[in-house]
Amino acid sequence: MVYVTFIICFLAAVGLTPLVRKLAIRIGATDLPNARKVHKTIMPRMGGLAIYLAFIIGMLILWPDSSFTLPLIIGSVIIIITGILDDMYSLSPKVKIIAHFFAALVIVLSGINVSFINLPFNGVLHLYWLSIPLTLLWIMGITNAINLIDGLDGLAVGVSSIVILTIAGLSLTEGNLFVFSVSAILLGSTLGFLPYNFHPAKIFMGDTGSYFLGYIISVLALLGFKNVTLFSLVVPIIILAVPISDTLFAIIRRLVNRRPLTAPDKSHLHHCLLRFGFTQSQTVVLIYGMSAMFALAAILFSTSTLLGSMIIIIGVMLIIELVVEGVGLVSANYKPLLNTYKRILNLAKVK
């Protein structure tokens, strides 16, 4: 039944996207080109509504009576309404943060939260009163992280699809049928939308789509990896390494430059790769490759010994740092690791 519903969601997204495109144009949910944007023409936004509707169809088919279904629907309705209004009127950051807070709060009040973290050698760290704020921070953070990488045709929806596929595979090995099936119908919905969004895009998924995908992915990660051995949230963090690291270094970049955290710029990962001379399609495929590599690392991490897991964590952190320094994600002068390597080489030559 899961695979049949996957196909239904895929076909629903394929059929609904042209209708949503017409609706977006009619109500003025369009994206105008400017100095920060890559596209040069007016583009309809709000394509994420097609993903959402296809997803809801799948949820009602597979899990109409699940205790998680109603909170997911209520929370996602808040996210979708906020996204649609943002795509139409460009809401202020404060309004969006408040809306995201209440959407996350719906999930927490339903009983979904990070109550403890599994530690090595059978240890458990209970979070107690930190449980709720950390869960809220996780949901709101991932919701916005997907939004921040939505800067090129097909980028955010493609990266999200890789993340969702990885969560589906890992949850299947864990025997978590709910997370597997919800991931499957979400994947069907995103893949049905992708042909319209890949370069040259006919429609953007807009904040409606990026916020929705980030929101659902954050909740699926909580549901799927609460009891994974070692560190409970390390697996989803590795899976989401691209959007999380891009968001983290965007914050660092704005702090270093003394700019507001909500101020937009053209220094995200995809912008940096474009400045290196890659085309839009090449940049998107490169970031797909990075996401796939981190997904593989997460799979290996979930099946590794303690030593192997630590090696994977160090390797992932090293790769992220090298990419950050190589493309200038913080600034052109931020290269501590590469500069140290050059100094070592110079010392070796002198000797």
Q: Binding residue per annotation — 333?
A: no
Residue 125 bridge partners (DSSP): 117
Over residues 217-230, the pLDDT tens digits come to 999 988 876 544 33
Which tokens is 19 given?
């209708």
CA dist., res. 53 & res. 185, Å (int) = 11
Note the pLDDT of residue 230: 38
Contact 166, 131 (CB under 8 A): no
Which tokens is 65 given?
């009576």
- Number of other residues whose CB lies within 10 A of the CB of residue 307: 8
- CA 247, distance to chain mean position in Å, is 10
Ordered per-residue pLDDT tens for the chain, 351 residues = 899 999 999 999 999 999 999 999 999 898 876 655 555 678 899 999 999 999 999 999 999 999 999 999 999 999 999 999 999 998 999 999 999 999 999 999 998 887 777 665 566 677 788 889 989 999 999 999 999 898 899 999 999 999 999 999 989 988 889 999 999 999 999 999 999 999 889 999 999 999 999 999 999 988 876 544 334 567 888 999 999 999 888 888 888 877 887 777 778 899 899 988 899 999 999 999 999 999 999 999 888 877 888 899 999 999 999 999 998 888 888 888 888 888 888 877 765
Rg from Cα positions in the chain: 20
Over residues 275-323, the pLDDT tens digits come to 888 999 999 999 999 999 999 999 998 888 778 888 999 999 999 999 9
Over residues 239-260, the pLDDT tens digits come to 999 999 998 888 888 888 778 8
Average pLDDT in the chain: 88
Tokens 């799948």 locate to: 58
Contact 238, 297 (CB under 8 A): yes
Note the pLDDT of residue 39: 55
CA dist., res. 86 & res. 90, Å (int) = 4
Note the pLDDT of residue 229: 38
Angle between helix 177-197 and helix 48-62 axes, rounded to 10 deg:
150
Note the pLDDT of residue 232: 53
Note the pLDDT of residue 331: 81
Q: Binding residue per annotation — 246?
A: no
Residue 118 bridge partners (DSSP): 124
SS3 per-residue string spanning the chain: CHHHHHHHHHHHHHHHHHHHHHHHHHHCCEECCCCCCCCCCCEECCCHHHHHHHHHHHHHHHCCCCCCHHHHHHHHHHHHHHHHHHHHHCCCHHHHHHHHHHHHHHHHHCCCCCCEEEECCCEEEECHHHHHHHHHHHHHHHHHHHHHCCCCCCHHHHHHHHHHHHHHHHHHHHCCHHHHHHHHHHHHHHHHHHHHHCCCCCCCCHHHHHHHHHHHHHHHHHHHCCCCCCCCCHHHHHHCHHHHHHHHHHHHHHHHCCCCCCCCCCCCHHHHHHHCCCCHHHHHHHHHHHHHHHHHHHHHHHHCCHHHHHHHHHHHHHHHHHHHHHHCCCCCCCCHHHHHHHHHHHHHHHC
CA dist., res. 351 & res. 337, Å (int) = 21
Write out the residue range of the structural domain in which residue 345 sits. Answer: 2-350
Total structural domains within the chain: 1
Note the pLDDT of residue 60: 94
